[in-house]
A and B are shown apart, each in its own frame.
Chain A
Amino acid sequence: MNFIHEAKSLVKVNIRDYGMYIALFVIMATFSILTDGLFMSSRNISNLLDATGYTAVLAVGMTLVIVIRHIDLSVGFAAGFMGAIAALLLTQAGVPVYLTIPIILLLGIVIGMFNGVLVASVGIPSFVSSLAAMLIFRGALLQVTEKTGTIIIKDEPFNAIGNGYIPSIAKVNGLNLLSLLLGVLIIILYIYFEFSKRRSKLKYQFEVVSKRIFALKIVFVSAIIAYITWIISGYNGFSWTVIIMLAVVVIYHFLTTKTVLGRHIYAVGSNPEAAHLSGINVKKITYIVFGSMGLLSALSGILFTSRLQSATTTAGTLFELDAIAAAYVGGVSAAGGVGKVTGSIIGAIVMASLSSGMNLMGVGISYQYMIRGGVLAAAVIFDVLTRKKRA
């Protein structure tokens, strides 16, 4: 009885954090049933995650931009443009791939910082300045691809980023061994962190959840990781895209929740004046957030270009809106100061799942847009309502 009581109160307090996961679960379960399990097949899930990569990466950066009460509309074409530059460097300039990637990432940071300066130092509203940047990058993308049209990339390692998988070493019952091992490693790390967190809390003599709840949580999360690993290993294993996506999420999650920098970002978002009076350099934080957005746009451009194995004249179209939608579905608040990186990733996966599931079911594209729009609206309504209840 006590156990159920504790579980209930935990769910109640954290309903907003769990809301996204529940929604994702419901969507996946529904599609599984409607498609006779086709949706949860190894192949479909692998493809779905690979196709989410470049949007998810953008959504992570966009989360922080929205948290500090700004927006960046330029990220789509910035990604497209930087992807094209990468293609040019690889094909025409003959720059090796291990140089191309850092150059493009650095270029992304510079471009993002420039946006940050316009917003923070010149004082242009980010909507306007990034709209201008969007037009500029669109033009720039056309300019660099004008002569050649689509630039085909034949660089194997580069193309592997968007299409390749980690080596399998050996097959166990048709499953990729290395991917399985990776899954096991993730589970072990997860359990280790949970235990060390609990130990540290006990050392401070803080309250912790009961042992049974703790055990239940560990088993539950481990099972989910195991299940996903099992599904992915059944096809080609973890793709490089998914590995990169995971790395970005882990790094940004750590950055936003555990570091002084992360706290400063959320402080600026929740009250810029108070942040300034608390000795936080609001301008510097704005530069950093826009710089990180630029970096992730570059990464997104690399992922997308590599996935297509070519740079096209329309690459990046509407990426920014997908990223913004993913962030809002993931629980970011337009009022600033609220929003998690993990939420936005889930948001991106929710939106991708909707597309993928509806494609499998053969739903027309017109309905797909309407349904995705409805889900976006519903997510924000849920967010607003639960927020009101709490206040």
Chain B
Amino acid sequence: MGDYILEMKNISKEFTGVKALADVNFQVARGEIHCLIGENGAGKSTLMKVLSGVYPHGTYKGDIVFEGSVQSFAKISDSVKAGIAIIYQELALFPDLTVYENIFAGNEVRRGAIVDWNRTIVHAKEMLRKVGLDVNPEMRVKDLGVGKQQLVEIAKALSKNVKLLILDEPTAALNENDSENLLDLLRELKKQGITCIMISHKLKEVISIADKATVLRDGRTICTLDGSKGEISENVIIKNMVGREIEDIYPKRPNKKFGDKVLEIRNWSAYDAQLGRQVAKEVNLHVKKGEIVGIAGLMGSGRTELALSIFGNPKSYRLQGELLVEGTPRTFKHTSDAIQAGIAYVTEDRKGDGLFLIQDIKSNVSAANLRGIASNGVINDNEEVKVAKRYKESMFIKAPSVEQIVGNLSGGNQQKVSLGKWLFVGPKLLILDEPTRGIDVGAKFEIYTIMNKLIEEGMSIIMISSELGEVLGMSDRVYVMAEGRIKGELPIEEADQEKIMQLATQ
């Protein structure tokens, strides 16, 4: 059937014990726009990395048939040579170089060993015309908007005689207008015979542009929908994306009792001057005493940014709106102010900005509350060991001693150390950002148990999570975020996977 430019057959890929892809089959016909859809962690990016040679031949199982022959890409440049180009969400441009230098970076127009800059500029202009970008090729890329930068990336791909163009969430950072332009360009390229795979979370876009759409879930192909047969619709896609039974690993809390509002934010907006865009827009949200509030949404929807803007604003966003802690308006100049007000934030990236990996467990546990083990600024070492031992036991941290270096612990145990550090501060409100990412089921269950215990002790929790099962299993109320806005608020009784996904992909 049909003329396939690409067939990926029975692709499986494992990361130390975790199956990221299991027998994935994926077929793309020549000249079509094929959308790849799935939740965070469904395996879309992994599949594209296998295709482009980021994970070289031999590290996965299965066959890649491109242009009729089985390929064994050992590195990215092999796939580029074959005519495959990927454009990632985080653009891979050199901001301080000019447009023409960027288009031909790694693919220089040269005469012998010498770069021919004049011909480079001529070629660059040609490529820019193709993508419909009207800028001076001698401009620096950083002076262009994100939408135009994206077009430069596409021009770069075209300069390499691309046959198959892969776009990873190309419109995630674009405004409406730029998005529309980009989709028009893709349609134009299709006319010129370029095949395109697009990963997207925005279902409206998918419906408007896709000839076919393949849904991945938990590393498996669920279905391929054909637009010409009218199969691509929001309901069908969402059903296929989420249609998974929630495993019952969520411990129940029998008697729920909610008190007054611990935290409330009103018309809260945050502007990131470095990125030049609004990361949170007019957010209204509150948490009651004894409540677990889930914030669902896809990656890049602004959840982490919102949490940081509340937690003392370490990224120095420009803030607007009101923040109330237990009914009193507050402004936090530094994270230490937020901590003092009783807020704790357990980061999403525990290795990057959560833990002191070269230090031991006890130093990590005490790091945010050294005054709790010191008098007059002098630390009581023994008290510190005692505290660390207490958390090691109550959090089930598996390590020979509290002198163990945290960098040597497993992900789950690191997460518990991170949690322990914040519990020692004694917060009223705990913000957990992806509390169980990358940790095994056993440790997950332990963390859920700890969460419930904290709630019973009168704490409140905001849980940011991309895992719908976790959101539905643990929360008392759910907010759904997308594009920096709260798209909806659902009491847990009314929330289900379809509803959340619908709001998150608006």
Could you say which residues of chain B place their CB within 8 Å of the CB of A337? 356, 358-359
Interface residues in A247-286 (C-beta closer than 8 Å to B): 258-261, 263-264, 266-267, 270-271, 273-281
CB of A1 within 8 A of chain B? no
CB of B408 within 8 A of chain A? yes
Q: How far is the CA of A277 from the CA of B421 in the complex (A)?
A: 12
Residue pair B356, A277 in contact (C-beta under 8 Å):
no
Residue pair A281, B356 in contact (C-beta under 8 Å):
no
Given A273-B353, A390-B405, A391-B407, do A280 and B336 touch, yes or no (CB 8 Å)?
A: yes
Residue pair A204, B359 in contact (C-beta under 8 Å):
no
Q: How far is the CA of A276 from the CA of B67 in the complex (A)?
A: 52
Residue pair A277, B345 in contact (C-beta under 8 Å):
yes
Residue pair B385, A261 in contact (C-beta under 8 Å):
no
Q: How far is the CA of A232 from the CA of B405 in the complex (A)?
A: 41
Residue pair A260, B421 in contact (C-beta under 8 Å):
no
CB of B83 within 8 A of chain A? no
Residue pair A281, B334 in contact (C-beta under 8 Å):
yes
Residue pair A200, B339 in contact (C-beta under 8 Å):
no
Q: Which residue of A259, A271, A280 contacts B357 across the interface (Cβ within 8 Å)?
A: A271
Q: How far is the CA of A276 from the CA of B352 in the complex (A)?
A: 12
Per-residue contact bits, chain B 62-101, to A (CB 8 Å; 1 contact, 0 not)? 0000000000000000000000000000000000000000
Q: Which residue of A259, A277, A390 contacts B378 across the interface (Cβ within 8 Å)?
A: A259
> Which of A263, A264, A273 has the most chain B CB atoms inside 10 A of its CB?
A263
Interface residues in B361-403 (C-beta closer than 8 Å to A): 363, 366-368, 370-371, 374, 377-379, 381-383, 385-386
> Which of A260, A274, A281, A390 has the most chain B CB atoms inside 10 A of its CB?
A274
Could you say which residues of chain B place their CB within 8 Å of the CB of A271? 353, 355-357
Could you say which residues of chain B place their CB within 8 Å of the CB of A274? 347, 353-356, 367
Q: How far is the CA of A337 from the CA of B358 in the complex (A)?
A: 8
Q: How far is the CA of A280 from the CA of B370 in the complex (A)?
A: 10
Residue pair A277, B334 in contact (C-beta under 8 Å):
no
CB of B335 within 8 A of chain A? yes
Q: How far is the CA of A279 from the CA of B367 in the complex (A)?
A: 9
Q: How far is the CA of A204 from the CA of B389 in the complex (A)?
A: 12
Interface residues in B324-367 (C-beta closer than 8 Å to A): 334-336, 338-340, 345, 347, 352-359, 363, 366-367
B24 CB → nearest A CB, Å? 36
Could you say which residues of chain B place their CB within 8 Å of the CB of A278? 335, 367-368, 421
Given A204-B386, A260-B370, do A267 and B356 touch, yes or no (CB 8 Å)?
A: yes
CB of A16 within 8 A of chain B? no
Could you say which residues of chain A place their CB within 8 Å of the CB of B382? 200-201, 203-204, 206
Given A271-B353, A337-B356, do A391 and B408 touch, yes or no (CB 8 Å)?
A: yes
CB of A338 within 8 A of chain B? yes
Q: How far is the CA of A280 from the CA of B366 in the complex (A)?
A: 12
Residue pair A277, B336 in contact (C-beta under 8 Å):
no
Could you say which residues of chain A place their CB within 8 Å of the CB of B491? none
B353 CB → nearest A CB, Å? 4
Could you say which residues of chain A place their CB within 8 Å of the CB of B311? 277
Q: How far is the CA of A343 from the CA of B292 in the complex (A)?
A: 49
Could you say which residues of chain A place their CB within 8 Å of the CB of B378? 258-260
Residue pair B368, A279 in contact (C-beta under 8 Å):
yes
Per-residue contact bits, chain B 308-328, to A (CB 8 Å; 1 contact, 0 not)? 000110100000000000000
Q: How far is the CA of A204 from the CA of B373 in the complex (A)?
A: 14
Could you say which residues of chain B place their CB within 8 Å of the CB of A270? 356-359
Residue pair A261, B377 in contact (C-beta under 8 Å):
yes
B181 CB → nearest A CB, Å? 36
Q: How far is the CA of A278 from the CA of B355 in the complex (A)?
A: 9
Q: How far is the CA of A285 from the CA of B339 in the complex (A)?
A: 18
Residue pair A266, B335 in contact (C-beta under 8 Å):
no
Given A263-B363, A276-B335, do A338 and B358 touch, yes or no (CB 8 Å)?
A: yes
Q: How far is the CA of A106 from the CA of B433 in the complex (A)?
A: 45
B343 CB → nearest A CB, Å? 10
Q: How far is the CA of A204 from the CA of B357 in the complex (A)?
A: 27
Could you say which residues of chain A place their CB within 8 Å of the CB of B345? 277
B216 CB → nearest A CB, Å? 33
Residue pair B335, A259 in contact (C-beta under 8 Å):
no
Residue pair B379, A260 in contact (C-beta under 8 Å):
yes
Residue pair A204, B356 in contact (C-beta under 8 Å):
no
Residue pair A279, B334 in contact (C-beta under 8 Å):
yes
Residue pair A273, B408 in contact (C-beta under 8 Å):
no
Name the CB-closest residue of A to B356.
A270
Q: How far is the CA of A189 from the CA of B352 in the complex (A)?
A: 43
Name the CB-closest residue of A to B345.
A277
A288 CB → nearest B CB, Å? 13
Per-residue contact bits, chain B 404-415, to A (CB 8 Å; 1 contact, 0 not)? 010110000000
B161 CB → nearest A CB, Å? 42
Could you say which residues of chain B place their CB within 8 Å of the CB of A280? 336, 367
Name the CB-closest residue of A to B370.
A260
Could you say which residues of chain B place their CB within 8 Å of the CB of A263? 363, 366-367, 370, 379
Could you say which residues of chain A place their CB within 8 Å of the CB of B339? 279
Q: How far is the CA of A74 from the CA of B165 in the complex (A)?
A: 53
Q: How far is the CA of A251 from the CA of B194 in the complex (A)?
A: 70
Name the CB-closest residue of B to A270.
B356
Name the CB-closest residue of B to A200.
B382
Name the CB-closest residue of A to B337.
A279
Per-residue contact bits, chain A 328-362, to B (CB 8 Å; 1 contact, 0 not)? 00000000011000000000000000000000000
Name the CB-closest residue of B to A202.
B382
Q: How far is the CA of A21 from the CA of B164 in the complex (A)?
A: 63
Name the CB-closest residue of A to B371.
A260
Could you say which residues of chain A place their CB within 8 Å of the CB of B358? 270, 337-338
Could you say which residues of chain A place their CB within 8 Å of the CB of B408? 391
Given A260-B371, A266-B359, A279-B336, do A273 and B407 touch, yes or no (CB 8 Å)?
A: no
Could you say which residues of chain A place their CB within 8 Å of the CB of B335? 276-279
A–B pairs, 11, beta carbons within 8 Å: A261-B377, A266-B359, A267-B363, A270-B357, A273-B353, A274-B347, A274-B355, A274-B367, A279-B334, A279-B339, A390-B405
**A-B contact sample (20 more), CB < 8 A, given A203-B382, A270-B359:** A204-B383, A204-B385, A260-B370, A260-B379, A261-B377, A263-B363, A263-B366, A263-B370, A264-B370, A267-B359, A270-B358, A274-B355, A276-B314, A278-B335, A278-B421, A279-B338, A279-B340, A281-B336, A391-B405, A391-B407
Binding site for B on A (CB under 8 A): 200-201, 203-204, 206, 258-261, 263-264, 266-267, 270-271, 273-281, 337-338, 390-391
> Closest 4 interchain pairs by CB?
A279-B336, A273-B353, A278-B368, A279-B339
